[in-house]
Amino acid sequence: MALTESTMVKLESQVHDFSLPDTNGNNVSLGDFESDALVVIFTCNHCPYAKAVEDRLIVLGNDYLGQTDFVLISSNEIENFPDDSPEKMAERHQRKSYPFPYLFDESQEVAKAYGAVCTPDIFLYNKDRKLEYRGRLDDNWKEPEKVTREELRMAIDAVLSGNKIDFDQVPSMGCNIKWK
Model confidence pLDDT, tens digit, residues 100-150 = 999 999 999 999 999 999 999 999 999 999 999 999 999 998 999 999 999
Q: Which CATH number fits domain 3-14+47-176: 3.30.70.100, 3.40.30.10, 1.10.1060.10, 2.60.40.10?
A: 3.40.30.10
48-50-56 Cα angle (round to 5): 120
Query: What per-residue confidence (pLDDT) applies to 1?
Result: 56
pTM: 0.96
Output the tens digit of pLDDT for each of the chain's 180 residues. 578 889 999 999 999 999 999 999 999 999 999 999 999 999 999 999 999 999 999 999 999 999 999 999 999 999 999 999 999 999 999 999 999 999 999 999 999 999 999 999 999 999 999 999 999 999 998 999 999 999 999 999 999 999 999 999 999 999 999 999
Angle CA(16)–CA(139)–CA(170) in degrees, nearest 5? 45
Residue of 39, 19, 119 whose CA lies nearest to 76: 119
- Please tell me the distance from the alpha carbon of residue 13 to that of residue 10, in angstroms, as a whole number: 6
% of the chain residues with pLDDT over 90: 95
What does the pLDDT read at residue 50? 95
Which pLDDT value is given to residue 3?
A: 81
